[in-house]
């Protein structure tokens, strides 16, 4: 399947931070997060992973701030955690809470979603749709014990980033704290709005 190679629309440094400041200045009200498709094949075709021209710490910083700006209007009602890490080392390039009220459990969800993306090479939303949210079927398919299965999450909000000319996943973008289709949808929305 052909995947379009994405390049950031605004190449200037600090565009993500400017977006955050703009939201703060305007006290923007939340705008609905588009829902991703629920059919696994439709997810695979449209929003399972993204192919970037390149991926650096600077790009992670910009993407993280653009996600922060998008999520900030929801923060008083739905605090979230954003995490962007490298796939090969697990090094976290960007992580922050959006709003007060995230809990240590959000970090556990981040790790479980990251594990799923890295093991299966797909988004957690794709896995959710593929197994119709049935964690028992997911666990049985891979012969996982309960202790093994608790390391993975088939809930939306974990998306792999690939780079042109590089085999495998380069980075993992996670959002945790919203409804699972929104966790996935906000990542897709921000990338589609800011990369072309």
Q: From CA 100, how far away is CA 80, in angstroms rounded? A: 9
Mean pLDDT to the nearest integer, 157-180: 97
Please give the full DSSP string across 107-145, using - where no structure is assigned: HHHHHHHHHHHHHHSS-HHHHHHHTTT-HHHHHHHTT--
Tens digit of pLDDT for each residue in 46-102? 999 999 999 999 999 999 999 999 999 999 999 999 999 999 999 999 999 999 999
pLDDT tier at 29 (50, 70, 90 boundaries)? confident
Mean pLDDT rounded to a whole number for the chain: 95
Q: Is the pLDDT of residue 143 over 80?
A: yes
* pLDDT at residue 2 in the model: 65
Euclidean distance between CA atoms 196 and 194, whole angstroms? 7
Helix (H) or strand (E) segment spanning residue 12: none
CA 161, CA 88: separation in Å to the nearest integer?
12
CB 71 within 8 A of CB 176: no
26-35 average pLDDT score: 90
Query: Residues 4-13: what's their mean pLDDT?
Result: 94
Q: What is the mean pLDDT of residues 100-111?
A: 93
């Amino acid at each position: 399947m052909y995947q379009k190679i994405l390049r950031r629309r605004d190449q200037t440094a600090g565009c993500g931070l400017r977006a955050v400041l703009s939201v703060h200045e305007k006290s923007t009200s939340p705008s609905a997060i588009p829902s991703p498709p629920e059919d696994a094949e439709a997810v695979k075709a449209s929003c399972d992973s993204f192919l970037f021209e390149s991926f650096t710490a600077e790009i992670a910083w910009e993407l993280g701030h653009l996600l922060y700006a998008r999520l900030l209007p929801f923060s008083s009602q739905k605090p979230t955690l954003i995490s962007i890490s490298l796939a090969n080392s697990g090094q976290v390039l960007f992580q922050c809470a959006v709003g007060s009220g995230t809990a240590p459990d959000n970090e556990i969800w981040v790790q479980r979603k990251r594990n799923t993306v890295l093991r299966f090479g797909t988004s957690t939303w794709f896995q959710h749709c593929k197994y119709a949210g049935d964690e028992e079927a997911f666990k049985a398919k891979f012969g996982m014990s309960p202790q093994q299965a608790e390391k993975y999450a088939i809930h939306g909000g974990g998306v792999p980033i690939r780079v042109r000319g590089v085999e495998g996943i380069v980075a993992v973008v996670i959002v945790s704290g919203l409804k699972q289709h929104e966790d996935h949808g906000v990542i897709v929305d921000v990338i589609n709005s800011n990369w072309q």
